Amino acid sequence: MSAFIYNNSNNNNSMRLCVMGDGGVGKTSITIQFISNHFVNCYDPTIEDLYRKQCLIDDQVYMLDILDTAGQDELNAIRNHWIKSCEGFILVYSVTSRSSFDQIQSFLDQIKFLKSEKVPIIMIANKSDLDDERQVTYQEGENFANRFGMSFMEVSAKYKLNIDEVFNQIAQHCVKRRCDHIYINKSIRNKNSIFKKFNQKLNNTFHSICKMI
């Protein structure tokens, strides 16, 4: 495992994302293509790395912390700790591997188990450039994503097809979720304030009536 620093700060301009998927689907190639704009055609199941990149989302600069997960059992504790604090997830399978597509359900179950509320998830099908080796159709991927309320794209890490779009979209979903939470919390505070003032007025009226009696 490559060492990485787990920063537990609550910086509003930082955003934690997690890339999950079966071994060999191209998680690292996708992440490095987004971070560094070059294609790395390698697979090492022992590597788990944290990548960082600044992005402009809705006229605001965010630092994206992206965990590229590995499948080693000894990394589960660190990975699960990260997942619990993560705001958005990218689930990856390969169009050339039916088994990697079938594994997506287990990653969804893991997220559901570790997260207490619904979070933005986008499912992507990598290696769309290898159409002659395809085992999973576009329609199958789209139907599965729709069934679980996920966004869906086919991508090619090799040719950087839709790579930036994936990370920009998941980041935008996370920003929207933050704004929705702020609005909901503000609405709750406003309602509580109204109820408090109403109860206070009601109590004052009751005391006034009692004094008159």
Per-residue pLDDT reduced to its tens digit, 107-148? 999 999 999 889 999 999 999 999 999 999 999 999 999 999
**Is residue 113 one of the residues assigned to a domain?**
yes
**Is residue 139 one of the residues assigned to a domain?**
yes
Sign of CA dihedral 43, 45, 46, 49: positive
Full domain range(s) for residue 146: 14-184
What is the four-CA torsion angle of 124, 130, 133, 137, rounded to 10 degrees? 40
69 a known binding residue? yes
31 a known binding residue? no
Tell me the C-alpha distance between 169 and 52, whole Å.
17
Q: What is the tally of structural domains in the chain?
A: 1
Per-residue pLDDT reduced to its tens digit, 5-55? 344 444 578 999 999 999 999 999 999 999 999 999 876 765 678 999 999
CATH of the domain at 19: 3.40.50.300
127 a known binding residue? yes
**Is residue 7 one of the residues assigned to a domain?**
no
21 a known binding residue? yes
Q: Which two tokens stand for residue 156?
A: 């090619």
Per-residue pLDDT reduced to its tens digit, 51-102? 999 999 989 999 999 999 875 555 577 778 888 989 999 999 999 999 999 9
**Is residue 189 one of the residues assigned to a domain?**
no
Tell me the C-alpha distance between 38 and 191, whole Å.
51
141 a known binding residue? no
22 a known binding residue? yes
88 a known binding residue? no
Mean of the per-residue pLDDT values of the chain: 84
Tell me the C-alpha distance between 63 and 213, whole Å.
65
**Is residue 205 one of the residues assigned to a domain?**
no
**Is residue 159 one of the residues assigned to a domain?**
yes
Bridge partners, 52 (sequence order): 65
Tell me the C-alpha distance between 193 and 36, whole Å.
49
Q: Which two tokens stand for residue 25?
A: 């689907």
**Is residue 25 one of the residues assigned to a domain?**
yes
